[in-house]
Structure 1
Amino acid sequence: MVHYLLLKFNPGFFSDEVFSLAVHTYTELESALPGIEKVQIYKNCVCRNSNADLLVKMDLASEAALSAYLKHPLHCGFIQEVGSQVSQRITFDRK
């Protein structure tokens, strides 16, 4: 399955540092959880009000891998670090 996460941050918050934190976190998650097969992280390149700032695409082995990811300390730590600055979050899962 594929899990997509799109985050739009409060104005002025998203930066290269936040992007680097996302890359580091999700790269570590990919190494830590065997159910994560591939992670891709993108930052938006066109500034429009309707666009998200960050896209994370994760290829997962199963729904169990998604559950493990959602509960993992690295994921929870990322949420703790940036969650208060997220103005919109959209997730999408497909098989």
Structure 2
Amino acid sequence: MKMATVNINNYVRVKLNEFGLSVMKSNREELQRMAPSLPDFTPPETDSEGYSKFQLWSLMETFGPVIHLGCEIPFDSEIQFTCDAVTEVAG
């Protein structure tokens, strides 16, 4: 088994789905109610493979409240992590 040390400030890549985009848009609309001068929601950039990039803490903050057992998840279940080191773990 390989393990990676990942910092919450590291970037991760996910493939958002329509539900994920709707969560992000809803969050932005809530902020706009408190600060009407904020610009409208703009979907995050996606690369040629369909991935969007987030810092891990931001991904957790944004989607944590809607993720639970049996829920519709806001992105494909595989997350790509960036990390500085990968080490073998005896198992």
Question: Taking structure 2 as the reference length, what is the TM-score of the superposition?
Answer: 0.36
> Larger Rg: 1 or 2?
2
The structure carrying a bigger helix percent of its residues is: 1
The structure carrying a bigger strand percent of its residues is: 1
